[in-house]
Structure 1
Amino acid sequence: MIDRTISRRSLLAGAVVGGAGAAFLGATGGTAAAAPTPSRTARVTVLGSTDLHGHIYNWDYYKDAEYDDTAHNDVGVAKVATLIKAVREERAHTLTLDAGDTIQGTPLTYYYAAIDPITGPKAPTHPMAAAMNEIGYDAACLGNHEFNYGVPLLRKFQSQLHHPLLGANALDWKTRAAAFPEYVIKKVKIATLTDSTKRPGDYVNVGIVGFVTPGCAIWDKANLDGKITFNGIVEQAKRVIPRVKAAGADIVVVACHSGADTSSSYGDALPWPENASTLLAQQVPGIDAILVGHAHVEIPQRYVVNSKTGKNVLLCEPYYWGMRLAVMDLDISYAEATGWQVTSATSTLLNSNTVDADPAVLAVSKAAHDKTRTYVNSVIGTSTAALSAATSRYEDTPAIDFINYVQAEAVKKATGTTLPVLSIAAPFNKLAAIPKGNVTVRDIAGLYIYDNTLEAIQFTGAQVRAYLEFSARYFKQVSGTGPFTADQLTNAVTPTAPGGTPDYNYDIMGGFDAPLTYDIDVAQPAGSRILNLAYGGTPVADGDQFVIAINNYRASGGGNFPGVTTAPVLYNAQVAITQLLIQWVTDHKTVDPSLFSTIDWRLVSGGTPITVTG
């Protein structure tokens, strides 16, 4: 608990986790630009959140308990709200922004998209909209996950916000006109209450522009084709930023749902990179600061030099789920010849675990929080054994077998195919577990934490092998049989994953009517690791034909797996996989691993099984 007798300044000082801590408490810093002698100076502070992913309370709905992790982070925009209020009390001129991915990521957001949707007859207000409205955001940009539930639901959410939802590179499919507001200009009053005469420079016009990663076009292709398309961030910014300046913006701040470190999980499937914030700062003049999102990393303070102007552009990314608040201090000066200009810029991050949640934000979302808890705690069946996903990254587990079984069964029933059906699933959540005994909605939902839908494509045997080889890039090349820790084996760095291959881009493939068996030889280089690939005990030939149950993210090119985007599509009914799993347990009442689980794949070194200690 926070000692309410301490000062706001002490509260904020204790919350600083990186960046220009001294500058946050009053010192100046950053890089100064040459300018005429100023007649007035001021500071505008831009506060930023990103990748909230439906977190309002500091709550883990999958555990039905207060959130905690090994670093003892707290989550939720209610905690962020307390930090925002504290900074607003200390700063005279503030703006509050969000960099996207707001309405997907927790059972709370799923509930108001699928169980009691905001587009339904009752049309409830989305709890994230209610929370953000209570806080008083000035603007937010789109995130790629905003499109997961379709454009109609997103439009409803947009209509419920009290602030603009920006997406300058999201374009109408037919006209290529802006599908969302490109920017907003906020007029910030600099004159003090003691000023008796109106003067030039009493206000500074802050242009706020929003961009989203163009990967949306791949990952939510089914929801967006024929409706919304995307331009590259840099390409669109070259058009939009001059218009913002021409419209009267003195300074320009961008909320960009695109990581700072240039890379693309989809390879060259699009002509523009997924993560382009650094390129934006380098290549487009006129931008003073960028609130970065999408990558789920901490960037307390980073400067990128614009190649045309030579000026530094400030970048700051406040982690994810509301664990941090970005505080970007823009020191500005006014001269008659130039108007307002940024003379220095510094930033830092504040840690949400240093404060209590804001009571007002909790109050406006309490009913939604309580409804979601009731829903996720409802018992829908039983399990004959405990199923854990803890080791699914490096060994065959019943937990992943269950997902693959349900997906494959659904595809076989829907298509009536006589071809062998295979299924892919990734170890999304190593904390997921189905207990022995009663099984609740949250137990099942924890296995599949993304709102993907089920599709089916057709592959040859050669394509199955190529897919598995690509997936096996997830493992680092090691020699010997161990024992190895999981960290010594997993999350290998690749050209498309310079920070390490994420767990969600490692796919495990299983058969339905017969086992698909294979070894992954981690002593071999990537591309030559799949051994003994067989279906039902018979080696898989290049010309064999298979139906693959696959999620829409992967089928649309997410992760840049080979063959998927050009494969024949046999099924795409837009059925959410999480709901499919929940419905299966509801219908069958019993989860029995003997129905679906066998050991079909293993990690080997030189053909000999290896030992992994976890």
Structure 2
Amino acid sequence: MTDSNQTVDQAVDRSVTRRTVVGGTAATALAAAGFQAVPAHADAGAHGAGGPAPRTVRLSVMGTTDLHGNVFNWDYFKNAEYDDSAHNDIGLAKISTLVKAVRARIAGERRTPAPLLLDAGDTIQGTPLAYYFAKIEPITGGHLHPMAAAMNEIGYDAAALGNHEFNYGLDILRKFQRQLRFPLLGANAQDWTTGLPVFPPYVLKRVHVPGEKPITVGILGLTNPGIAIWDKANVENKITFGGIVELAKVWVPRVRQAGADVVIVAAHSGMDLSSSYGDALPVPENASALMAETVPGIDAVLVGHAHQEIPERFVTNKATGEQVLLVDPLKWGMRLALIDLDLQKVRGRWKVVGRHSQVLNANTVEADPKVVAVLQKDHDKVVEYVNSKIGTCTEAMSAATAPWEDTAALDFVNFVQADAVAKALAGTPQAALPVLAIAAPFNRAASIPAGDVSVRDVAGLYIFDNTLLAVTMTGAQVKDYLEFSAQYFKQVSGPGPFTPDQVTNAPTPTAPSGTPDYNYDILGGLTKPMAYTIDIAKPVGSRITGLSYDGAPVTADQQFVVAVNNYRQSGGGNFPHVKTAPVLYNRQVEIRQLMIDYVTATGEVNPNTFHTTDWSLTTNGSPVVIST
């Protein structure tokens, strides 16, 4: 497929500068954000022996990634200002203040070219703000997407496609693309039939240098091949996705041939070699460092996808011996990357002779009032939506006792997960296998009231941004998994009564202060009960008794499909088997959103449809009594 507004031929344009700084001087804002001035540095051998050294010009490139629909420093599910344990702030409104400070600082330096601003993808999914304008009031109806409005206001020069750009389908993505005042790049997003790019592969930016010839900067965009799996329903028979390294080898030389003095890659692919999809694709998910090492001609890489903070990393290209600079500015607008490339004329052409990068912290500045003003109405509309009724609940559900007794609240999470997986596997060879699901008591304070239910009520049961996967496990592996999970309980004698702290959150060698609630998993079946007891009088490793499915003992070789979150499947908590189990389903859909969608679609939560008491705590076969 192709888009009539796009062409493989790339336009050459000039950077746009904005010089207004919010909240004080540029120097003050940058110092607070952690900016460190670095003297211009030329690599050894940049100019020949004898004669004066050529003039060094510094080109600065700013970058963001994995914004995931964040404009404001706001947690829509808590209905409060965003905060986390590190006291990070989020959103493009704060990024804009940092961008203006960088631009103002550079504008004050004589004969220094204006900086560029790039993004490395995952822009239009991740918050209720993004969801609302994809599903509730889709931008296909004419509304300007809030992320397009914010990024246009700030003045981005280019952005790469992220995998989450495809979550809402190609119509939403193409509309978003047309709303941007800068190109959305993806050299490895290729037409299913012809193999030609269906988004611009790169753009050339001609940067004015006072008193010198312009610097031509080539910006190449690459997205994640995993889209072919994660959004198969949206892209199959339409778009195919080549490997990061493979397509960089094709396009970097073309960018150079088109006249680029400097080549920067915005890659929605994590730094270090790994894949969440195993061998389901022949190319890796995370390959930015490998690309820098094996593809000649790249000067710097803005890295995305992995949600890591990497202020500066150098990789030596094997073919040229040149150093390639890589930087990853975390996620959600928490950081702004700042790349400084020092250039000199070598035989009449600009050449990078020095490299440096750092990240600036958005929690040190105020939000840009211009960005706030542009998006305030959208924000207010979404706050109202999140707090509005989307359905009803026939009886109250609370997670207060979920760590030590089977509750409807956790059964609801497991039901939604297992139901989504079962529907996705319909028509596949695994459709006949029993489906189980695993969930943890993330938030003891969570509850869904009887009567009207809001988006925030549902979201409270699932406070993390985890996505859903499904793997196959044997009965023996399921039992091992549950035994590992049961180390969450302290060993006791007698039936009690006990207070919760006398039973839960047991210290382990890897959690000496106590196993957190989120590392205790509860398992349930979708259409038939998976029943078991946990005998906490027994030592760790021999606590699971009476493990049965549909009333029959589980056999060691019995096959199950198990719905699990991406944190657990990637090794979080170090649970056995799940990390190496074959993956059947991985569309990178947020579990929390699946729960919201379920309530929105059905209009009702009725615990009688999914809640049964299938597991319990015992001590030497007698029920454990816990009083609160």
So what's the TM-score if we normalise by structure 2? 0.76
Quote the residue 1:257 is aligned against.
268
Residue 187 of structure 1, aligned match among 196, 199, 206: 206
Q: Distance in 2 between matches of 1:351 and 1:166?
A: 26
Quote the residue 2:219 is aligned against.
208
Q: Is the 8 A contact 2:437 2:525 kept in 1?
A: no
Quote the residue 2:147 is aligned against.
128
Does 1:581 pair with 2:603?
Answer: no
Quote the residue 2:4 is aligned against.
none
Residue 374 of structure 1, aligned match among 384, 388, 393: 384
Shift of 1:440: 1.2
Does 1:424 pair with 2:434?
Answer: no
CA RMSD of aligned residues (A): 4.5
| SS in structure 2 at match of 1:69 | coil
Does 1:232 pair with 2:243?
Answer: yes
- Taking a change above 3 Å as real, the CA distance of residues 53 and 395 of structure 1, as seen in their structure-2 partners, is farther
Quote the residue 2:118 is aligned against.
97
Does 1:484 pair with 2:501?
Answer: no
Q: Distance in 2 between matches of 1:258 and 1:475?
A: 32
- Taking a change above 3 Å as real, the CA distance of residues 389 and 73 of structure 1, as seen in their structure-2 partners, is farther
Q: Is the 8 A contact 1:389 1:427 kept in 2?
A: no
- Taking a change above 3 Å as real, the CA distance of residues 454 and 560 of structure 1, as seen in their structure-2 partners, is closer
Q: Distance in 1 between matches of 2:399 and 2:388?
A: 20
% same residue: 49
1:454-473 equivalences under 5 Å are 463-465=473-475, 468=478
- Taking a change above 3 Å as real, the CA distance of residues 64 and 603 of structure 1, as seen in their structure-2 partners, is farther
1:146-157 equivalences under 5 Å are 146-157=165-176
Residue 85 of structure 2, aligned match among 70, 84, 101: 70
| SS in structure 1 at match of 2:28 | helix
Q: Is the 8 A contact 1:118 1:156 kept in 2?
A: yes
Residue 295 of structure 2, aligned match among 275, 279, 284: 284
Q: Distance in 2 between matches of 1:530 and 1:241?
A: 56
Quote the residue 1:109 is aligned against.
130
Does 1:177 pair with 2:192?
Answer: no
Q: Distance in 1 between matches of 2:562 and 2:215?
A: 57
Q: Distance in 2 between matches of 1:607 and 1:13?
A: 63
Does 1:433 pair with 2:452?
Answer: no
| SS in structure 2 at match of 1:331 | strand
Shift of 1:268: 2.0
Q: Is the 8 A contact 2:42 2:342 kept in 1?
A: no
- Taking a change above 3 Å as real, the CA distance of residues 4 and 272 of structure 1, as seen in their structure-2 partners, is closer
Q: Is the 8 A contact 1:30 1:346 kept in 2?
A: no
- Taking a change above 3 Å as real, the CA distance of residues 4 and 217 of structure 1, as seen in their structure-2 partners, is closer
Residue 343 of structure 1, aligned match among 326, 342, 353: 353
Does 1:304 pair with 2:315?
Answer: yes
Q: Distance in 2 between matches of 1:406 and 1:223?
A: 22
Q: Distance in 1 between matches of 2:400 and 2:300?
A: 41
Q: Distance in 1 between matches of 2:616 and 2:253?
A: 55
Shift of 1:232: 1.1
- Give the length in aligned residue pairs: 557
- Taking a change above 3 Å as real, the CA distance of residues 566 and 452 of structure 1, as seen in their structure-2 partners, is closer
Shift of 1:218: 1.5
Shift of 1:384: 4.3
Amino acid at match of 1:434: S
Shift of 1:181: 1.1
Deviations 1:205-262 (A, max 9, x none): 0111111221111211221211111111111111110110010000111111111122
| SS in structure 2 at match of 1:40 | coil
Amino acid at match of 2:143: P
Deviations 1:411-452 (A, max 9, x none): 999989x97963425559659833445531122145467697
Deviations 1:572-606 (A, max 9, x none): 9xx97234432367334xx55896153538899x9
Q: Is the 8 A contact 1:470 1:562 kept in 2?
A: no
Q: Is the 8 A contact 1:467 1:562 kept in 2?
A: no
Shift of 1:507: 8.0
- Taking a change above 3 Å as real, the CA distance of residues 34 and 608 of structure 1, as seen in their structure-2 partners, is farther
Deviations 1:510-569 (A, max 9, x none): 224542135799966xxx9987541133113478787877999999xxx877455499xx
Quote the residue 1:13 is aligned against.
31
So what's the TM-score if we normalise by structure 1? 0.78
Does 1:56 pair with 2:71?
Answer: yes
Quote the residue 2:46 is aligned against.
34
Consecutive unaligned residues of structure 1, counting only runs of 5 or more, are 196-200, 491-502
Q: Distance in 2 between matches of 1:127 and 1:246?
A: 36
